């Protein structure tokens, strides 16, 4: 219903403009020595509107072009963040399923992409602990400045 009303309003505006242009007897004289041009007032208004919208479009295009590099950079960063989040989701799923080697590998991948480093380091440390790789566990905990004694409830007692 709204669309129909908008179409009717646009058509009514078109009819009003047509009537105004048809019965407009005004004219504009443009003088630039040695030249002189006479234009109807309606043609001058339409010409000014076209020039305005073309200038506006060119300015918008220029502004968009100047911002394109920032938009591409932001897009790439967001894509990397989403890839890291996906690795983190897969890591938690693998950890919950008991696939500790796969979960550790995904946790390291997510840590390299700077996605929630502390959580990923803890998951990697827990996986390394389950795989009896205590040196890797201690290395993951050292990356975030923690030790096994900081997590007594995690079952990583020495």
Domains of the chain (ranges plus CATH)? 22-154 (1.25.40)
Spatial contact of 30 and 36, defined as CB atoms under 8 Å apart: yes
- pTM exceeding 0.75: no
Q: What sign does the CA torsion over 111, 113, 114, 119 have?
A: negative
Spatial contact of 27 and 39, defined as CB atoms under 8 Å apart: yes
User: Could you read off the pLDDT of 11-58 as tens digits, one per residue?
Assistant: 999 999 888 888 888 889 989 999 999 988 888 888 999 999 999 999
SS3 132: coil
């Amino acid at each position: 219903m709204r669309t129909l009303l908008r179409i009717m309003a646009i058509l009514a505006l078109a009819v009003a403009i047509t009537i105004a242009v048809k019965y407009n007897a005004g004219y504009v004289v443009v003088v630039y020595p040695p030249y002189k041009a006479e234009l109807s007032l309606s043609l001058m208004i339409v010409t000014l509107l076209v020039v305005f919208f073309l200038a506006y479009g060119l300015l918008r295009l220029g502004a968009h072009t100047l911002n394109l590099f920032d938009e591409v950079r932001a897009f790439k960063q967001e894509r990397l963040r989403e890839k890291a989040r996906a690795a983190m989701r897969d890591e938690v799923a693998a950890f919950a399923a008991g696939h500790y080697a796969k979960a550790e590998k995904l946790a390291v991948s997510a840590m390299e992409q700077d996605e929630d480093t502390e959580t990923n380091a803890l998951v990697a440390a827990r996986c390394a602990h389950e795989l009896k790789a205590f040196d890797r566990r201690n290395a993951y905990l050292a990356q975030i400045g923690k030790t096994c004694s900081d997590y007594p409830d995690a079952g990583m007692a020495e």
